[in-house]
Structure 1
Amino acid sequence: MKKIKAAAALAAVGVLALTGCGSSSSANDADTINIVGYSVLDEANQGVEKAFQETPDGKGVTFKESYGASGDQSRAVAGGLKADEVHLSLEPDVQRLVDAGLVDNDWKDNATKGDCSQSIVVFAVRKGNPKHIRTWADLTKPGVGIVTPNPASSGSAKWNLLAAYGSQLASGGNDASAQAYMKKFFANIAAMPDSGRDATTAFTGGTGDVLLSYENEAILARQSDPSQMDYVIPDSSLLIENSCALLKDASSKAKAWMAFQKSAEGQKLYAETGYRPLDSVAKAVGTVTVKGAMDPSNPFPEPKKLLTIDKDFGGWDAANTKYFDENDGILTKLQADAGQ
């Protein structure tokens, strides 16, 4: 499999745009599936791809892949980066491609509502949790350094910041108290790297005391080296729903690939790398032992309060405008005021 990292993918955009490329495989490479994904998906896809290649639909298929910060990846595809499937951190990054005429308007009209994977926001902490970070209030204590990616480029950053904001609403607060909390939160930021994977690298390299992360990313890090971190599931978290879509002229092989990703077999493989199975097939997936989870035999305990983007924030159209508009977004302004 050929993997293209984000920098190379973005550098290629200008050349690809000039050639009119930007959708899917040509007739000469119909057995090649081009995947453009968000940064932390890389390792998780490897096992799912291998299993698909062992099915009748996947026989003879090869994958070409590009991974990076979700917003950057979406802009790269809009600018010409070749893709059959996009598997991105959040819905607006796919909507950009609908607006560009590359993805059909009905991409969400299916049993998974356009998602291929899901997770929740957790606190990754130093081994043994020496600063006893358990709650959202602990993140704003003096001397606690927070690592979370930058929402200007990263989808995971938006999930993280909304989880932090929503934690105050979940405990009976309102917009005013949530904004007061976020001022303290931003004051404790130690680093805001470009992507979720870059944030993990910064944290494991010694930056900060707590990393806001996808649960699956924390589990994956512990699978490779349990001494790197522990993680805490806070009382209030946010369901992370990762969007996927086929480009308009994607091949039949790409369509079969996406169906396999969403199947019970595909979701079990994703679960083994730390993703929570999609609701549509969770019962069929059944119990999964997950190496690297804090409790491998019970890897996906439910938070006391699990927020969702649709129920608690009015959906991504509303949330993006209210919180992340580049001029007037609540969180954009608070981040700028903090000098982050």
Structure 2
Amino acid sequence: MKKTIKAAVAASVTGVLALTGCSVAGGSSDSGETVTVNAFSVMEAANEPVFDDFEGTADGADVTFQTSYGASGDQSRAVVAGADADVVHYSLETDVTRLVGEGLVAEDWKDNATNGIATSSVVVFVVRKGNPDGIETWDDIVEPGVEIITPNPGSSGSARWNILAAWAHITGNGGSEEEARAFTTSLLNNTIALPGSGREATTAFTDGSGDVLLSYENEAILAKQNGADIDYVVPPDTLLIENPATVTVDADETAQAFLEFMTSPEAQADYAQSGFRPVVDGVEIEDVEGANDPADPFPTPQTLFTIDDTFNGWGEAADLYFGDGEEDNPLGIITELQQTTGQVGEE
């Protein structure tokens, strides 16, 4: 069956193994045009049907895609260092604003209908099949003895979404910063591994470590599609994950056309099959394999926090929570708590 999905942003109540490297996909005409896509790793499988559908449009005829995938921050820094990119698609807004600061992306890149966002998800709890520990809420995961895996906020974009979702559980529900620090400290004390990336964290969990994994909903759905013997829980309150995309200043009109296609209902339906929540309204979605309810794959949480409403955007949140303490960058709140608890994780 098909289900028409509204954009994840509108739903807010309160406000395959990916490989690093390059590959070529799409049309093979020597006279065609090449669009270079530089993206965070989880987009590798998700982009393939989107490329195929774009090639079926007038703008996409005879287009070949050159792709590079990897950790979001690493991809962004590679573009600064000279890697080719027409379209960039990252986990965090700060990985795009790095390019703005280098003059590689226009300052007005967010001036469009989706505010620069191409894909979205929410933070979820990945649990053992059947959820034997009965983990349903944030409070459940800080109970004594619960073993948590989450990637390292010092190196992973997905980890930053995860840890801010935990923080928002306190402050977004009326708690103080002191209470949020205490809750986050309990979460870190229960954490048995902080792998360097979200994909490494998923691998650690599916290999048998831990009771609960903090992750993206789309990552959990992808893991189930790939045969992982897991379940996942969308907690009553969680954080909306928003992944930005834009073109570089030297990109031509074909790259711009592809960027616009990425947020079309057709492309968003493709992304939904990989577990991403649509960022535009009116998207018709077939059953999503791997979702808790394939016919209703993206349930609306009771409370859905956003980075803008709860944390005043990444422009403020990045340094406030994740500053590394070097040079003129003060030590961030989460960075400090990691050091205090000894949970500095893997790079």
TM-score relative to the length of structure 2: 0.87
- Tell me: CA distance 1:4–1:222, structure 2 relative to 1, closer, same or farther (3 Å): closer
Q: 2:210, 2:174 → 1: CA distance?
A: 29
Q: 1:4, 1:324 → 2: CA distance?
A: 26
Deviations 1:169-197 (A, max 9, x none): 23321100010011111111122222222
| Structure 1 position 238 matched with structure 2 position 236 | no
Counterpart of 1:35? 37
Q: 2:99, 2:309 → 1: CA distance?
A: 25
CA drift at 1:56: 2.1
Counterpart of 2:178? 176
Give SS of 2:96's match: helix
Contact 2:269 / 2:285 at 8 angstroms: preserved in 1?
no
Contact 2:34 / 2:66 at 8 angstroms: preserved in 1?
yes
Give SS of 2:119's match: strand
CA drift at 1:4: 9.5
Q: 1:121, 1:65 → 2: CA distance?
A: 27
The AA in structure 2 aligned to 1:298 is D
Q: Map 1:266-277 to 2 at 5 A.
A: 266-277=267-278
CA drift at 1:116: 0.6
Q: 1:228, 1:76 → 2: CA distance?
A: 35
| Structure 1 position 261 matched with structure 2 position 262 | yes
Q: 2:109, 2:209 → 1: CA distance?
A: 39
Q: Which of 77, 81, 89 pairs up with 2:91? A: 89
Counterpart of 1:335? 338
Q: 2:257, 2:249 → 1: CA distance?
A: 15
Counterpart of 1:105? 107
Corresponding pairs, count? 315
Give SS of 1:211's match: strand
- Tell me: CA distance 1:69–1:96, structure 2 relative to 1, closer, same or farther (3 Å): same
| Structure 1 position 74 matched with structure 2 position 76 | yes
Q: Which of 145, 154, 158 pairs up with 2:156? A: 154
Counterpart of 1:323? 321
RCO higher in structure (CA 8 A, sep ≥6): 2
Percent identity over the alignment?
A: 52
CA drift at 1:311: 0.6
More helix by share: 1
Counterpart of 2:130? 128
Q: 2:308, 2:18 → 1: CA distance?
A: 33
Give SS of 1:200's match: helix
- Superposition RMSD in Å: 1.8
Give SS of 2:179's match: helix
CA drift at 1:224: 1.9
Q: 1:123, 1:42 → 2: CA distance?
A: 23
Q: Which of 305, 308, 325 pairs up with 1:307? A: 305
Q: 1:66, 1:159 → 2: CA distance?
A: 23
TM-score relative to the length of structure 1: 0.88
Q: 1:79, 1:311 → 2: CA distance?
A: 33
Q: 2:318, 2:275 → 1: CA distance?
A: 27
Q: 2:18, 2:67 → 1: CA distance?
A: 6
CA drift at 1:288: 4.0
Q: Which of 274, 295, 298 pairs up with 2:293? A: 295
